[in-house]
Structure 1
Amino acid sequence: MSYEQVDRSRLAQDGPRSGQPPLSARPLLAALSRIQTGQLDLRLADGSRRLLGERHPGPTAHLQLNRPLALTRRVLLRGALGLAEGYMAGDWEAEDLADTLHLLALNQPQLAGLAQGRLAARLTDRLRHLLNANSLTGSRRNIAFHYDLGNDFYRLWLDPTMTYSAAVFARPDEPLAEAQARKYQTMLDRLDARPGDHILEIGCGWGGFACHAARQGFHVTGITLSREQLAWARRRVREEGLEDRVSLELRDYRHLHQRFDHIVSIEMFEAVGEAYWPAYFDTLAHRLKPGGRAALQVITIDDARYHDYCRRPDFIQRYIFPGGMLPSVTAFDREAAAVGLETVSRDFYGHDYALTLRRWDQQVTARREAICELGYDERFLRMWRYYLAYCEAGFRLGRTNVMQLALARRGG
């Protein structure tokens, strides 16, 4: 039974003193009772209800515990990753998944012991992450893992521009396609480019930016490691009659030799991997013509959390983007400066990303049956929704952010 199917009249009758909880639920209840900020409305499998927290003002979240013993075992062994795996397995439900993860994250200091997991499991996850390094071969494998799920899958829940990155909204109710077009234009504006200039796009996706720029008179060379995306993007370019201005290739950024007037890279840096950051920035510095700029959109992690994040691979790295790594702003700036690149302009759009993710999740939910008809099962759908909600909660809290910036070589 999903949380949405709970009989609200019965829930109202079940007060917080409805008797002793099942033994299997007590370890989790003991941990969750430490919540101080906000309130967790917890529904147990036997129908009883607990209201936990609210020592300090904060959000309210609603969680239904279906299999407390299974979830307890997962969390004790795997920490926060076990919580995610428990959701994927159906051990628990949430009325609003992002709200629930937001509340739990706000109370992380009180739940820290529960979130750690056992050392052996953490070491195993760390080793698995290291084995997913983005070497030339590893990059192709890791990109295929995520982006070659199938164009039909992404088409069902992305907006018509097929843009898989944060939008820039003028207002909360703006159509997503319009907000995505605004994002593309802000990237172009950061370049201070002129029609006719040749732009390299590292990680061209389904061709949204390339076509947007070409329609304004720019020439674009786009590179990707995803065969699925490349096929879609090339067809799009042909259909829009932009073949004289757009060239798309299956190529690694480390195999570029030509120089370009400008470079654009939208949320590709996160897939590079820390060990290859120097190579990425070296590519930017050496592929730019004198006076050129590189406009990037990059997801970042809070500086205060960066060290812990580097040591403990998270749900995203385990299930969504193997080999991926977010930089802190400090780490990003340090790597850029090492090759003589300096920031010309920079803005942050974390709240816009939270809204983008909320829109995507609404579409995934609305197109659930169509997604299942493509062959994706319930576990995959729950994993994908957890991914979107996990990211939304992070952007809401400010633990992750997304920046748009322009880089130029120091001294021109």
Structure 2
Amino acid sequence: MRAPTAWPDVERTPAGLRARVAAVVADRLFRKAVRTLPIRVEYPDGTVLGRNPADRDAPRMILHRPADFAARLGTGGLIGFGESYMAGDWSAPDPAATLTVFAASVETLVPAPLRTLRRLYVARHPVAERNSESNTRGNIARHYDLSNTLFELFLDETLSYSSALFPATEPPPRWADLAAAQRAKIDRILDRAKVGPGTRLLEIGTGWGELALRAAERGAVVRSVTLSTEQRALALDRITAAGRVDQVTIDLLDYRSVEGEFDAVVSVEMIEAVGYDYLDTFFQTIDRVLAPDGRAVLQAITMPHHRMLATRHTYTWVQKYIFPGGFLPSTRLLRDVVARSTGLVVREELSMGEHYAHTLRLWQQRFNSHADQVAALGFDSLFRRMWQLYLAHAEAGFRCGYLDVHHILLTRAGAN
């Protein structure tokens, strides 16, 4: 699978009376907002806006086509903001630094009266992208089946596409060994799930097989389920090469269809693909297959509860272009769902958002350094800008605390 070759909502600048009026309003709101931010917004005519326009060390946002940018922002909101970057209406030497400024001020960028009208003007989720059993595989394919080679270009040798866990004894600037940090993350999950010789382990969301391999090395018998045909193919190759085919089974299967009993269940950043409407089903599945004294460990990207409530029905740029059907829960929501739908309890939570910000910074460096190879795979310049923005957008969220990532341990209510 490859990225689309046509991007109609990006290649076409909004036009008409409605777009012109929306552009005027958006331009005024944007200029007013950035005048309060620690940023340099640079216009072609030499105008520089920001809290301190003379500060040349502030993150820069360079507007190349202000009129087009305003038209997209006015008609598309935050989706238009992202599409304007894809179209080249604006750029930034360090997109993550620029987006961090905006993300840190997300509560105040839009005037309060407009925030109260949010549901009237923001896009809604397409029905075709709800994570029902009939839709989910297509949603997954649009991201994870793009190309295994694409992911190999910017991931480390473990092919782990989730937050690493760097050494607590070293300051962040010295976090360089991404592969070691990914293995440390996996080992912590397996340790908390008490995976060892003979453990019957269910993994929901295979990735490219690194966790299954490390569990098998401990002597576990692993069943892993995924909806990505590309990931499954490469994971099976890696399992075979490691001589672990007798211990690891990887099925192309929806988590809702899993049967059997398991001593441990683990899932690394798959819950974001479950969807708000299906969280009860997800945890009920874990409850159903987990042995009486079993343990479940999740790695989950989260957002603050009040922001989740405000945005859970909003269709975002990330959902439109990167993760169709995606939804980020809050830890409070996860605890509430577990309590009302299962006999499980949350025993432990570990916050590690700073580690994800650094993981994403390393991915961006590798992605940008392999631009020629990405192009050679057939991904056009618009796709490359889209992914640069996606990785930078994610880093910004973790950098300012708008996003977090947690390890969450679940056991049965009566377990020690």
TM over 0.5: yes
- The AA in structure 2 aligned to 1:43 is E
Q: Deviations over 1:344-395 (max 9, x none)?
A: 2210110000101111111110000000000001111111111111111111
How far the C-alpha of 1:266 sits from its partner, in A, is: 0.3
Deviations 1:7-46 (A, max 9, x none): xxxxxxxxxxxxxxxxx99963763343365422222224
Which residues of 2 match residues 183-198 of structure 1 at below 5 A? 183-198=185-200
Q: Which residue of 2 aligns with 1:7?
A: none
Following the alignment from structure 1 to structure 2, what is the Cα–Cα distance between the partners of residues 209 and 301? 25
Q: Which residue of 2 aligns with 1:342?
A: 345
Paired residue for 1:388?
A: 391
Counterpart residue type for residue 202 of structure 2: L
The question of whether the paired residues in 2 share the 8 Å contact of 1:80 and 1:117 is answered with no
The answer to whether structure 1 residue 64 and structure 2 residue 62 are counterparts is yes
**Structure 2 residue 349 is matched with structure 1 residue 352:** no
2:15 corresponds to which residue? none
List, as ranges, runs of 4+ consecutive aligned residues in structure 1 with deviation greater than 3 Å.
24-30, 33-38, 107-110, 113-123
Check whether the contact 1:190–1:345 (CA below 8 A) recurs between aligned residues: no
How many residue pairs match? The answer is: 384
Residue among 345, 357, 370 paired with 1:367: 370
Aligned to 2:141: 144
CA separation of 1:90/1:183 partners in 2, compared to 1, >3 Å: closer, same or farther?
A: same
Q: Give 1:247 shift.
A: 1.0
* 2:219 corresponds to which of 205, 212, 217: 217
Maintained 8 Å contact 2:275/2:327 = yes
Cα distance between partner residues in 2 of 1:69 and 1:41: 18
CA contact (8 A) 2:300 2:406 kept: yes
Which has the bigger relative contact order, CA under 8 A and spacing at least 6?
2
Kindly state the Cα deviation for residue 312 of structure 1 after the two structures are TM-superposed: 1.5
CA contact (8 A) 1:222 1:246 kept: yes
- Helix, strand or coil: the match of 2:134? helix
Counterparts of 1:309 and 1:324, CA distance in 2? 12
Question: CA 1:100–1:388 in 2, change beyond 3 Å: closer, same or farther?
Answer: same
Alignment correspondent of 2:325: 323
Q: 2-side partners of 1:133 and 1:221: how far apart?
A: 26
What are the within-5 Å matches in structure 2 for residues 163-242 of structure 1? 163-170=160-167, 171=170, 172=172, 173-242=175-244
Aligned alpha-carbon RMSD (Å): 2.4
For 1:204, what is the secondary structure of its paired residue?
Answer: coil
Identity among equivalent positions (%) equals: 38
Query: How far apart in 1 are the matches of 2:119 and 2:275?
Result: 24
Q: Secondary structure of 2:208's partner?
A: coil
> Using the alignment, how far apart are the partners of 1:161 and 1:365 within structure 2?
20
Q: Could you tell me which amino acid in structure 2 is paired with residue 274 of structure 1?
A: Y
Q: Give the structure with the higher percent strand.
A: 1
Deviations 1:86-134 (A, max 9, x none): 00000000111011111122333553159979979945x3142x43111
Gaps of at least 5 residues in structure 1 are: 1-23
What are the residue-to-residue correspondences of 1:272-311 with 2, within 5 Å? 272-311=274-313
Q: Give the TM-score normalised by structure 2.
A: 0.87
| Preserved contact between residue 42 and residue 51 of structure 1 (Cα < 8 Å) | yes
Whether contact under 8 Å (2:25, 2:74) holds in the other structure is no
Please tell me whether residue 399 in structure 1 is matched to residue 402 in structure 2: yes
TM-score (normalizing by structure 1):
0.88
Q: Distance in 1 between matches of 2:370 and 2:121?
A: 35
Secondary structure in 1 matching 2:347: strand
- Corresponding position of 1:271: 273
> How far apart, CA to CA, are the structure 2 residues paired with 1:26 and 1:141?
37
Q: For residue 154 of structure 1, what is the amino acid of its counterpart?
A: F
SS state of the match for residue 188, structure 1? helix
Whether contact under 8 Å (2:103, 2:402) holds in the other structure is no
AA aligned to 2:331 is V
Q: Work out whether 1:378 is the aligned partner of 2:381.
A: yes
Report the CA distance shift for 1:411/1:343 in structure 2 as closer, same or farther (over 3 A).
same
SS at match of 2:40: strand
